[in-house]
Structure 1
Amino acid sequence: MSFCTVFSMKIPIRKRMCFLYQFTSVSTSCAAQVEDSSSDDSSAPERCYSELQQRMQMHAASGSMVKAIAILNLMKYVPGKPTVYDYNSMIYCYFKSGYVKFDELFEVYIAMKKIGPKPNALTFNTLLNGLILVGRLKDGILIAQEMMESGFLPSYNVLSKFFKKFLNLGSVVESLTVLEIMLGLDYIPRKRDMNALIHGLCKVGMIQQAYVVLLALLGKGCFCSAHLYNPILWALCKCKGNKIAVAFLGWLKKKGFICNVYSYTALIYGFSKDGLWDKAFHFLQEMENEGCKPSVITYTILVKFLCDDGNVDDALGLLEKMDEKGCDPDLVTYNIILRELCHQGRTTEIDDLFQVIDRRGLSPDMYTHSALAGGMLKRGKIEIANKLVLDIISRGCSLDAVVYNIYWHSLACDGKSREALSMMQSMRDKGFRPTNITYNTILKGLCNEIKIDEVLQFFDRFDWATGGPDLISINTILSTACKEGNSSMIRRILYRMEYEGIKLDVMSLTSLIQYFCKIGEIPECFKLLDSMTSNGPQPNTMTLNALMSGLCKHRLLGIAGKIFSYFKNIGVFPNTTTYNILMRASIREGNDLLIIKLLKDMYGQKLKPDVDTYGCIIYSFCKEGKILLALQLRDQLFANGITPNIVIYNTILEAMFRRGNFWEIVSLLKMMAMDGCEPNAYSLDIMGRAMRKGWMKGFPRATKVLETVMGGNW
């Protein structure tokens, strides 16, 4: 029963009658004993009282409040008994028993308030300490408030115990209530407890309350160190409150507080995370001007977000600055840069960085190799990724699920998901604990390799880490079923989601839009879109791209343009992929004006063209026979740090074939070899068509070059 409802209760009459019925004979005999002895021995009542007191304490200590109260009632035959101290000792012994029934305990407390004897300071302190002992902390707050209303003050130690207990439990709201009581009594909590409270408030997003606590402590004349206000700065920066954080930092300086490296690092984190590099480097400079030396963590934060933004050259420049400032990078810093270098395929810089790591005496750890393997995997270098992870495993290092997940991901990408599943199950039998990420990685590979009905068989046999598949697992299968156009399987998955109480999210609904586009049910796509905008979840850029792709494949470019504008109006903004989809459709329909308009709009949105964007433009040039312009744009790609892919080269090869210039084809193949771009089946098909036309007879020198370039594969 909740303590807050007890105050309105009365002691049940039935229970009180029960007490009288059970102990009538005991009461009568004890009373008779007192009367018979009164004429002979004046100490008889005291002896009887002492005996009853011992019996009452014994019953309370054994956890029987009913029997203890019955004995307490017998004391009424002794003049002036029972006293409040008898009640206090009973409550104390009852808590010590460890078998506390709180309904009975609170009835005693209510009876004391209404009938007497009135609770005194010791009663309240006994209750408070007992409630701490048994973990009834919320009830303890109410008792503390009642204690103050009765004119008594809880001790500092008792309130400190409540405060610390709530903090350990992460109950910051209740901690605030206790703090309010303490500050009202001019009790100042210990510094480490205040630090824990402000950290806890910031962790759960109660930043304003943390600031109020800081102000309250300042109002009490407390000295507030950086440990109190730095968590507020960090919380603001993490939730995109950078402007407020800057204002707060200025307020701290005006108050005379000294901001340390952790304070400035918070602001650098906030602005770096949002890609506001001018602001981030401004505070790095201000930090140094204030005589505050940036730490490895400060620089690593900048390096991390620069790499996330693709600015690995700036990150490498920061490494040089760290050397100049005498701040040695640690392995974490190098691992972050290595991963991004792998993503960009910059092998020369990777080798150079490994030499630097070796010169500094740092030993690459599993995270270094994981960064390399993960980066290579993202670049599509599956064999290299496999080799790197196998090298880590062969060393017998203590590995976590992340490394194995990378390896199983590489197997899945290589069409070996069954092998990955078998290895994972074998390791699980030996004590390895796979995560849901592990299962979802293998599940995605299985979806790409085998039929969807077989995937469901594997799906049901998985021993899921968290008790069952998550929404990512369901969406993986649903997405595959939608891509295959398997309507019966889609119905089965949707039924399962409904049965297990899993709600469709934006990813699920986007997959269904792809399915309806695939089977040509465009009106159903619009119904789903209307439902999402009306009832949620709100569509996102992936939804937009799925719908754009479907409409363009059905030659509905005009409708796609209207939907494109509609999404922008509801706050869903396109990305580079969206523009690429519309540009390809515009090229197919020969709408050059729309291509130019899309490019202008794309730059207006501050989006960077990617290799597919350039591929669209090169395709447009080649379609019109403007091969020279296509080659110039290919050179522009390198200038912008983008490596042309095989699709771009095949587009230009096809245009050269149509023009009938065999020597141009050979020259382009030579360029491909220099760029490290291997010809695929389509490239070889173009060469085969050239041979069948007999062009090679007139170009013996070109034929020899071709043999060298292609290694005889053609």
Structure 2
Amino acid sequence: MIRGRPSCKYYLSMNFRNLVTTCTVPLDPPTTSSFSSASEHKNLCFSLVEQLIRRGFFFQAQQVIQRIVTQSSSISEAISIVNFAAEWGLELDLATHGLLCRQLVFSKPQLSEFLYNRKFVVGGAEPDVLLLDSMVSCFCRLGKFEEALSHFNRLLSLNYVPSKVSFNAIFRELCAQGRVLEAFNYFVRVNGAGIYLGCWCFNVLMDGLCNQGFMGEALELFDIMQSTNGYPPTLHLFKTLFYGLCKSGWLVEAELLIREMEFRSLYPDKTMYTSLIHGYCRDRKMKMAMQALFRMVKIGCKPDTFTLNSLIHGFVKLGLVEKGWLVYKLMEDWGIQPDVVTFHIMIGKYCQEGKVDSALMILNSMVSSNLSPSVHCYTVLSSALYRNGRLEEVDGLFKGMLDNGIIPDHVLFLTLMKMYPKGHELQLALNILETIVKNGCGCDPSVILASAEWQTSSNLEQKFEIVLKEISISDLNLAGVAFSIVISALCETENFCYALDYLHNMVSLGCKPLLFTYNSLIRRLCKERLFEDAMSLIDHMKDYSLFPNTTTYLIIVNEYCRQGNVTAAYHILRKMRQVGLKPSVAIYDSIIRCLSREKRICEAEVVFKMMLEAGMDPDKKFYLTMIKGYSKNGRILEACELFEQMVENSIPPSSHIYTALIRGLGMKNMTDKGCLYLGKMSRNGFLPNVVLYSTLMNHYLRVGEV
């Protein structure tokens, strides 16, 4: 008998085998020219199925249905065939149905998905592990990755080892999406359990883990590659892991990896040693850096200017200028020419220590050596001269910069603007722009301005327009700097609306705004307490592929802290972490300074600990803030401990730090100990100021020791 119609309509098979039966009805319809069209061929197949069913040959009829479904050209055609079979009561068993789905995965994945969903998703049948494994590849081919991953996890939950094909499909897509940690976890679960993966898996995974900073997993992968799979690491893999370790600060492991390379006769090159030395210098491990330098030279790698500049900067940052000069002497002995960066490091350090004359001597030696100082050299020197009250020399330095053909930038303008009296910002901006025209565009600004026709409006405004137009015609990059300078000057003079107009003009001319441009606008908005507008401007930056940096967020945090709104400052910290930006020491310093003013020193300690856990090293300014906070809040013993910790970290105390500590000791009637620090202060070359002497004298008068 013919069975009744089932509740669901499906069925087919990919590999049709010729059947050996006693049936005289042919399984294949005759192929003649009259049956050339696909539609006629399908109708003939349907007729054949009907004949087989009427004669009781259900198995043979099922196989014919499977064959024509497999050969169908579309899902709609397959559906019509399945519906026809269902009308005649033909039903495939689960094993045959699963086999058909698996066979269609690579040739017709859409059809495979359709059959799978009808039988196993909608129909509620339970697929076996072989079908689940095949559907992982099917869903990946269809771009339905989450469904593929769900089936892959289902396989693992059944303690089934996925096939190499399905694992590769999942692995490739996870790595393409940047989900390397998930890819690594699946790799560990599958590797060695009957599946041995190729070198490409190790290389792709190592690249991803190192780029995203998962160095513990990267080292584990390196061990697995050698111990489990027996693959010798390639030079590319060694370098990938090494640079990742250096970038993440795992310098001991990086050096051990170099020795492993040497053991395998894969000798590291100059770039690798330079990265290691740079890392040691960044972490203030100068002894290790020098050892790496001499080992580098020993194996025949000649250091370059960048290598030795890293060492000079490392020593100078620790206040060991003499050792920095020794490295400079090594450069001369090895025939390595110092560059602008070399001298800039020394100039910056001397300026920081207030030794401006020494910095000026280096600047003059650069000029005599035919080395053109960068604009940054002039910037730090101008700032140092201003701090020392030598304003007349700033003008002379600026004139010398112009004579040397140096093009000023927005950073120099910002430095000079702080020196000039209020109200002179726009004139200073015009002077800088005229210098850009002369040194950057090769034109005489006086000739350009003299040929202009003046209108009744502000001459200064017209001059800006003329000069900016000339710069834009000559160089759009310089125009970006010039517009940023004008916008900054307008923001400083509280002309925010005019600043926005210049921003629109800048964009309309094809100039890309600088991050400095937006930071100037954001600073003005924050000073006017328009924080919501400032955050909206941050969103606007993204239209030009600009993203806020630590300086941007520092501007906002500083203004919040000036208002005593620490809660809002904490919110900015959280926002920075959400976007993957590490808060700078200056941001933590601003928050702690605010908390100290409000007598919330315990909370300040929590922020201090948070900063250390984030891997940030306190600088001299931060130590000053924390020591002041402890001293003013009566926690003088903690202030002394922090002072000693600072010295241990090779950060030389400043006169301000000594003053804050000694005043705190005086307030706690610990003048004897204060005098000890006063002696240290004098030995370090600092002279106590009037305030400090007054504090000590008041204490002795109060206790009757006149």
Give the TM-score normalised by the residue count of structure 1.
0.57
1:442 aligns to what SS in structure 2? helix
The equivalent of 1:154 in structure 2 is: 197
The equivalent of 2:408 in structure 1 is: 365
1:515-561 per-residue CA deviation (whole Å, 9 max, x = no partner) reads: 7xxxxxxxxx5xx446756996799534655787x8xxxxxxxxx9x
Q: Is the 8 A contact 1:580 1:616 kept in 2?
A: no
Shift of 1:149: 1.4
1:438-486 per-residue CA deviation (whole Å, 9 max, x = no partner) reads: 3674368x5xxxxxxxx65x45665554579968646646646xxxxxx
1:364-405 per-residue CA deviation (whole Å, 9 max, x = no partner) reads: 2324xx42x444444454455542224346332323897468
Matches within 5 A, 1:376-525: 376-379=416-419, 381-383=421-423, 385-392=425-432, 394=464, 395-396=467-468, 397-399=479-481, 403=485, 407=489, 410-411=492-493, 419-424=494-499, 426=501, 437-438=519-520, 441-442=523-524, 458-459=530-531, 462-466=534-538, 473=556, 476=559, 479=562, 493=565, 507=590, 510-511=593-594, 514=597
Instruction: Report sequence identity in percent.
Output: 16
Q: Is the 8 A contact 1:576 1:607 kept in 2?
A: no
The equivalent of 1:99 in structure 2 is: 144
C-alpha change, 1:471 and 1:258, in structure 2 (3 Å) is closer
Unpaired runs of 5+ in structure 2?
1-5, 29-59, 72-99, 122-127, 434-463, 469-478, 508-512, 540-547, 576-586, 611-621, 647-652, 699-706
Shift of 1:282: 0.8
Q: Is the 8 A contact 2:487 2:503 kept in 1?
A: no
Shift of 1:284: 1.0
Shift of 1:603: 2.8
Shift of 1:510: 4.9
Shift of 1:208: 2.8
Matches within 5 A, 1:600-611: 600-601=678-679, 603-604=681-682, 606=684, 608-609=686-687
* Correspondent of 1:67 among 115, 118, 121: 115
C-alpha change, 1:435 and 1:202, in structure 2 (3 Å) is farther
The equivalent of 2:624 in structure 1 is: 541
State the alpha-carbon separation in 1 of the partners of residues 169 and 660 from structure 2: 74
Q: Is the 8 A contact 2:255 2:276 kept in 1?
A: yes
C-alpha change, 1:104 and 1:358, in structure 2 (3 Å) is closer
Q: Is the 8 A contact 2:359 2:381 kept in 1?
A: yes
The equivalent of 2:283 in structure 1 is: 239
Q: Is the 8 A contact 1:510 1:546 kept in 2?
A: yes
Shift of 1:264: 1.7
State the alpha-carbon separation in 2 of the partners of residues 172 and 401 from structure 1: 43
Q: Is the 8 A contact 1:428 1:434 kept in 2?
A: no
1:365 aligns to what SS in structure 2? coil
Q: Is the 8 A contact 2:136 2:149 kept in 1?
A: no
Which residue identity does 1:61 align to in structure 2?
P
Query: 1:263 aligned to 2:307?
Result: yes
State the alpha-carbon separation in 2 of the partners of residues 259 and 474 from structure 1: 42
Matches within 5 A, 1:10-21: none
Which residue identity does 2:203 align to in structure 1?
S
C-alpha change, 1:536 and 1:125, in structure 2 (3 Å) is closer
State the alpha-carbon separation in 1 of the partners of residues 664 and 175 from structure 2: 71
Matches within 5 A, 1:152-231: 153-167=196-210, 172-182=215-225, 185-189=230-234, 191=236, 195=239, 197-231=241-275
Which residue identity does 1:438 align to in structure 2?
S
1:395-419 per-residue CA deviation (whole Å, 9 max, x = no partner) reads: 32323897468536753xxxxxxx2
Shift of 1:245: 1.5
Shift of 1:60: 6.2
The equivalent of 2:324 in structure 1 is: 280
2:686 aligns to what SS in structure 1? coil
RMSD of aligned residue pairs (Cα, Å): 5.6
Q: Is the 8 A contact 1:56 1:69 kept in 2?
A: no
The equivalent of 1:567 in structure 2 is: 639
More RCO (CA 8 Å, sep 6+): 2
Q: Is the 8 A contact 2:164 2:195 kept in 1?
A: yes
2:480 aligns to what SS in structure 1? coil
State the alpha-carbon separation in 2 of the partners of residues 283 and 352 from structure 1: 32
Matches within 5 A, 1:136-151: 137-142=180-185, 144-145=187-188, 148-150=191-193
State the alpha-carbon separation in 1 of the partners of residues 243 and 365 from structure 2: 33
Q: Is the 8 A contact 1:322 1:329 kept in 2?
A: yes
Q: Is the 8 A contact 1:385 1:410 kept in 2?
A: yes
Shift of 1:55: 6.9
Shift of 1:213: 3.1
State the alpha-carbon separation in 1 of the partners of residues 195 and 684 from structure 2: 67
The equivalent of 1:522 in structure 2 is: none
Matches within 5 A, 1:668-683: none
Shift of 1:23: 7.0
C-alpha change, 1:408 and 1:497, in structure 2 (3 Å) is same
State the alpha-carbon separation in 2 of the partners of residues 478 and 255 from structure 1: 54
State the alpha-carbon separation in 2 of the partners of residues 507 and 251 from structure 1: 43
C-alpha change, 1:604 and 1:90, in structure 2 (3 Å) is same
The equivalent of 1:312 in structure 2 is: 356
Equivalences, count: 528
State the alpha-carbon separation in 2 of the partners of residues 141 and 470 from structure 1: 35
2:315 aligns to what SS in structure 1? helix
2:350 aligns to what SS in structure 1? helix
Give the TM-score normalised by the residue count of structure 2.
0.58
Q: Is the 8 A contact 1:264 1:283 kept in 2?
A: yes
1:241-275 per-residue CA deviation (whole Å, 9 max, x = no partner) reads: 22221233234344454333222221111011122
Q: Is the 8 A contact 2:340 2:372 kept in 1?
A: yes
Q: Is the 8 A contact 2:286 2:311 kept in 1?
A: yes
C-alpha change, 1:102 and 1:314, in structure 2 (3 Å) is same
Which residue identity does 2:104 align to in structure 1?
M
1:26 aligns to what SS in structure 2? coil
C-alpha change, 1:385 and 1:584, in structure 2 (3 Å) is farther
1:205 aligns to what SS in structure 2? coil
Q: Is the 8 A contact 1:300 1:333 kept in 2?
A: yes
State the alpha-carbon separation in 2 of the partners of residues 34 and 108 from structure 1: 37
Shift of 1:609: 3.5
Q: Is the 8 A contact 2:112 2:138 kept in 1?
A: no
Q: Is the 8 A contact 2:137 2:148 kept in 1?
A: no
State the alpha-carbon separation in 2 of the partners of residues 474 and 378 from structure 1: 21
